[in-house]
Amino acid sequence: MLDTWPLLQNSQFPEIHRSKLEILQVNLGYLCNQTCLHCHVNAGPKRTELMTAQTISDILAVLKQPDVHTLDLTGGAPEMNPLFRELVSEATSMGIKVIDRCNLSILSEPGYEDLTDFLTRHKVEIVASLPCYLEQNVDGQRGKGVYQKSIDGLQKLNQAGYAIDGTGLTLNLVYNPTGPYLPPGQQQLETDYKNFLQQNYQIRFNQLFTITNMPIARFGSSLISQGKFEEYMNLLKDSMNLANMNGLMCKNQLSIDWLGYVYDCDFNQMLKLNLQHPQTHKNLHIRDIIEQDMIDLDIIVADHCFGCTAGHGSSCGGALD
């Protein structure tokens, strides 16, 4: 598995610094009902790492900071953490916007029959991965049968009111390329997705987020085994667009791993690029930032960061341009 090598050697990526903290992206654990090729956390049904009650209580304490307005939940399948519903209920009662990065197939897993209803009641924003609107490409990347389960999940969400005008229930989809190339323009692709899904399945959604594949973890390893790692890195570097620097998601958000350790983003988390406590120089933990001001701290950058600035730019909220 590709870990830190060779991305950290002599990176030419420019220095960047944090602005005020507004979004906490929290990884609730690596347990998942799927095992996708592009998964950058290598999640799956046999993973046992799950965030504990103590760490979740530290997360809730940080959510009380005045500028923090959003809790973005990832995994694995975040809903598979037994404390997911407790955390969502507490956070929404504090007025925090909660995003659930949902793989859609979880909505039809045994034991999760009432999940759609729970998400609806708490007005949780759903961000769901559908790397292509064509069945063959989705099943090739995410596993056989995943496309049909995703369609079923989207229809279930629409029936519950998601992406329907006036309900206040938001459903966004995520596209990522199925190979070593950059995503196309977000707006045009969103139109194509909307037309296809509406005409073939009567499915509606709000926005499409295009996300660039990072040359790390499973995707990085597959590039290496195909002898395409260097070519893809060069593509990311050659497509660097400086206009994307201001919108980088690491400026106003932090990523928290299932143990409560703190990183600039989900990708740095996968590369084990821990933020350090400014005084003790130990790995920074969520409990250390309950009252810690993060403004102006350096962001840890390396060559994978070119994945965020290439072409139209990329973040957990899609393109940056």
Q: Which residues bind ligand SF4 (CB under 6 A)?
A: 32, 34-36, 39, 41, 43, 75-77, 103, 248-250, 264-265, 267-268, 299, 301, 304-305, 308
- DSSP annotation of 261 reads B
Of the pair 141, 207, the CB lying nearest ligand SF4 is at 141
Token reading at 222: 């597959």
Neighbours of 296 (CB within 10 A): 9
- Give me the least distance between CB of 106 and ligand SF4, in Å please: 8
Token reading at 186: 């977000």
Token reading at 301: 């950058």
- Give me the least distance between CB of 242 and ligand SF4, in Å please: 13
Q: What is the CA radius of gyration of the chain?
A: 19
- Give me the least distance between CB of 158 and ligand SF4, in Å please: 20
Token reading at 182: 């950059």
DSSP-derived 3-state class of residue 240: strand
Alpha-carbon gap, residue 273 to 264, rounded angstroms:
8
Of the pair 90, 174, the CB lying nearest ligand SF4 is at 174
Of the pair 4, 57, the CB lying nearest ligand SF4 is at 4
Of the pair 47, 194, the CB lying nearest ligand SF4 is at 47
8 A C-beta contact, residue 315 and residue 308 = yes
Of the pair 68, 275, the CB lying nearest ligand SF4 is at 275
- Give me the least distance between CB of 218 and ligand SF4, in Å please: 9
- Give me the least distance between CB of 168 and ligand SF4, in Å please: 26
Query: Which amino acid, residue 249?
Result: M
